[in-house]
Structure 1
């Protein structure tokens, strides 16, 4: 703009008092307060300013620049939203317009409060003209003006100094002197720390180690100082002592003194042992925590090279700690208590299951028994579990699973991957379903099946010969496994059938074109993948179907589940597990896979001219068919068909009968 004489108008002056009310509201800590905490006060001041005035524009721009959180280690996007919700976010400096950035460029030198000045100058340089070195220096000098004391380090100090170093080091040799000055100040502060500085010492050490070698202090001097602090604090704060020794070990490596680094690792291990002993000194309730501490001690010692462990007698120490760990794990199992819920009445389910298989000819009764239960509807179950986890506080706490012999077989909970917690919950819910299904459906129905029919081994051999599920050359093994189960001998059944299920999965994947081998990179030797690896292949769900793939994994290879495959293969199966609901369910699942494809191929077709059905053989599976039945290409296709009355999909009851003939023919 110009006045009537043709002289440009002078820009309206900016008054620092405009944001003084915001500083007053924040109190004495405003100078070193986190910038994002300025946001609400600056936004409130902007609302009270005259509408459309320069004062309001300045305050709005200041509020936007202060709104975000500083991510000092993220060079490309250093300012993150303070809040995110339902696809939206709070303001960030990237939302500032060009006019607002120009306005903040005028404002930055006028700000007296350290952290706010650093933020505004940094925003102006990051999103404005990067040729403005004066803005860069203004931001850096404000950042490093934050005092190096333990009171402010964890609120604004650490992020401020990291950001200042990042800005300077990115400019290379142009800022060499300033970089050296800053790192020397950090090094002097590190070497002057005391035990009262606690974890600030650790953070300073980590920051200096992350710098280029020419900017680091003398590694030997730092390691000596940190080791002395660790020794001083070890009796009253073992956690801090371990972190200090960890840093001392890292600096020893930088100094080229590897022996001193391993000695520090051994001290850390003994610190864990001492804390475990303290936990066990009161009563046995400390066994859970003590076990974790022994684990950490063993892990630290195992990081030391074998030759060094042998020369220092540390291998014997590892063996001793492993015995202590086993003892605490057994004690942890003894301390566990059963959590009882309200009883579940399964009477109706048992009655329905008996009625479904009673009064039918032998093969039809067997087929009905195989379709009493639907397989897990994974999407529905996942949605239900996800809702449960969203409403539960259980994810805030860590969780570990112990095997019957005291081994830790799984961990979870805490701040971790939500999908891992979801899968663990799905496996646990599946276990509950197996227990209830075994008691309320399978056992009652099996009793009726055994009372009304006799299944000879040769009958089952002919059935397995017809079944597209059973591989050639495995017919007798399958038949004997199924025969054991029909006679109530579940330990013998799963001993035969669990390995056979693994082979079926392997052959189905191979037939679909999947590569099921593992090749040794050193010598080219090929070996077959185990069941866990097979079920983890992306082709598994397509070939087996989502439901079957999940149930095989949850039943046979999941550590948090029954893990039957590994227990059978490695001789870990106990008598109790061999007679458990899981064993019954595994046998039933194998029976289902063998019988259902044969049953589907033999369901009589309705004559469209008469509406009648040909009379089915009384011994279905034992008769010779003149035509070979169509064999499903995958196990997913061998499942009972979907549709009205389908035993695999009906939601009306957990107990079902066979599907109508028309539905089966439509699938074929």
Structure 2
């Protein structure tokens, strides 16, 4: 992009109508602004308004960093690599305090910190990230809000600024939902607190247990496992080896419970249950091989691993491979099961075998003089 003479100013930003793009977006997150900024840049070019075009090109660059990866994976290196000139950065530094959209303000301030190590911009980014997280909070569609909280947390720790404020916000969210959010917001927030060696592990170990038990009662095995593992880490932080081992065992046992549940409720029961048993064996062996575990915990885990292995062998002997063949032969497949990916795979294998036989016959015929 060519240099603008005289350089862009705050007035150019204000007069550009950038807020129309933000207002038109249902979700107030930078990723949602990309198309709008690009469109405005084209419109300005068609009108011959070079300064307005330049404003939107810069804003597009700022938002476009999300492209090519999940926005939760963005880090300081990604922000530092954005192609912005010194002139662009000076313009962004001037407008940053006056950006009314918290998500865009946080992004701009974070970029300037990453490229220029401007401490005041880093502080502005932390505050804006928290404000943006509050605006984006949604227990179902949780990733946008969590992404802002995570960036605020890591940046605050880096510059040693308002870490307590970020932790306080995390605690408020956890207290508000009490683990009853339907997805993984509370789980991920607790993991952030664990990184900070938070000083109240008993409180959140109890919360993790509550959610794990509730998840098991609803047959949500992965969710239950996550929270048992989170509980185990809380006990490790408080150096409670006994409860840590117990929570780790409960996490591993969810694989056994999942296998048992699958046998009763899935048309491909033994296939899916065998996978769960294999994971159970890995989990129990991991416990038995961990140095910090007590001898009693290692012994229990070893026994459980052996039991799971015997059960797996039993499944393989009595119900070799997927149970699909038996269900199909006896007319036990319903419409949903008949249209399943596993059934499609079976038809593909059968077709391939038939085609292979046909190709082989042709080769034999051609080779026969």
TM-score when scaled to structure 2?
0.76
Q: Cα offset for 1:288?
A: 0.9
Write the distance in 1 (CA, Å) between the matches of 2:228 and 2:32: 36
Matches within 5 A, 1:499-518: none
1:161 to 141, 145, 149: 149
1:179 to 160, 163, 182: 163
Matches within 5 A, 1:198-277: 198-211=183-196, 213=197, 216-236=198-218, 237-277=220-260
Q: Cα offset for 1:9?
A: 12
In the other structure, the counterpart of 1:143 is 129
Checking the alignment, whether the CA contact within 8 Å between 1:191 and 1:222 is kept in structure 2 is no
Write the distance in 2 (CA, Å) between the matches of 1:121 and 1:16: 21
Checking the alignment, whether the CA contact within 8 Å between 2:42 and 2:53 is kept in structure 1 is yes
Matches within 5 A, 1:402-417: none
**Residue 302 in 1 paired to residue 291 in 2?**
no
In the other structure, the counterpart of 1:19 is 18
In the other structure, the counterpart of 1:285 is 268
**Residue 329 in 1 paired to residue 301 in 2?**
no
55-64 vs 65-74, which moves further: 65-74
RMSD: 3.0
Write the distance in 1 (CA, Å) between the matches of 2:155 and 2:265: 52
Matches within 5 A, 1:201-600: 201-211=186-196, 213=197, 216-236=198-218, 237-282=220-265, 285-305=268-288, 307-309=295-297, 312=300, 315-330=302-317, 331-333=319-321, 335=323, 339=350, 340-342=353-355, 343=358, 344-345=360-361, 346-348=363-365, 351=368
* Structure 1 residues 77 and 245: alpha-carbon distance in aligned structure 2, compared to 1, 3 A threshold: same
**Residue 94 in 1 paired to residue 94 in 2?**
no
Q: Cα offset for 1:153?
A: 6.5
**Residue 67 in 1 paired to residue 64 in 2?**
yes
In the other structure, the counterpart of 1:77 is 78
Write the distance in 2 (CA, Å) between the matches of 1:149 and 1:9: 38
**Residue 104 in 1 paired to residue 92 in 2?**
yes
Write the distance in 2 (CA, Å) between the matches of 1:304 and 1:126: 41
Write the distance in 1 (CA, Å) between the matches of 2:7 and 2:169: 46
Checking the alignment, whether the CA contact within 8 Å between 2:268 and 2:322 is kept in structure 1 is no
In the other structure, the counterpart of 2:43 is 48
Q: Which 5+ residue runs of structure 2 have no aligned equivalent? A: 1-5, 290-294, 326-345
Q: Cα offset for 1:12?
A: 7.2
Q: Secondary structure at the match of 2:207?
A: helix
Write the distance in 2 (CA, Å) between the matches of 1:142 and 1:118: 5
Write the distance in 2 (CA, Å) between the matches of 1:245 and 1:101: 46
Checking the alignment, whether the CA contact within 8 Å between 2:170 and 2:189 is kept in structure 1 is yes
In the other structure, the counterpart of 1:627 is none
Checking the alignment, whether the CA contact within 8 Å between 1:16 and 1:111 is kept in structure 2 is no
Q: Secondary structure at the match of 2:75?
A: coil
Write the distance in 2 (CA, Å) between the matches of 1:229 and 1:68: 36
> 1:228-273: per-residue Cα shift (whole Å, max 9, x none)?
2211221112221111001101111111111111111222233222
In the other structure, the counterpart of 2:328 is none
* Structure 1 residues 262 and 143: alpha-carbon distance in aligned structure 2, compared to 1, 3 A threshold: same
How many pairs align? Answer: 318
Q: Cα offset for 1:155?
A: 3.4
**Rg larger in structure:** 1
Checking the alignment, whether the CA contact within 8 Å between 2:72 and 2:143 is kept in structure 1 is no
Checking the alignment, whether the CA contact within 8 Å between 2:65 and 2:78 is kept in structure 1 is no
> 1:10-56: per-residue Cα shift (whole Å, max 9, x none)?
967232561122123324x3xx32x1221110111122224244322
TM-score when scaled to structure 1?
0.44
Q: Cα offset for 1:202?
A: 1.2
In the other structure, the counterpart of 1:126 is 114
* Structure 1 residues 9 and 53: alpha-carbon distance in aligned structure 2, compared to 1, 3 A threshold: closer
Write the distance in 2 (CA, Å) between the matches of 1:25 and 1:101: 26
Write the distance in 2 (CA, Å) between the matches of 1:283 and 1:179: 47
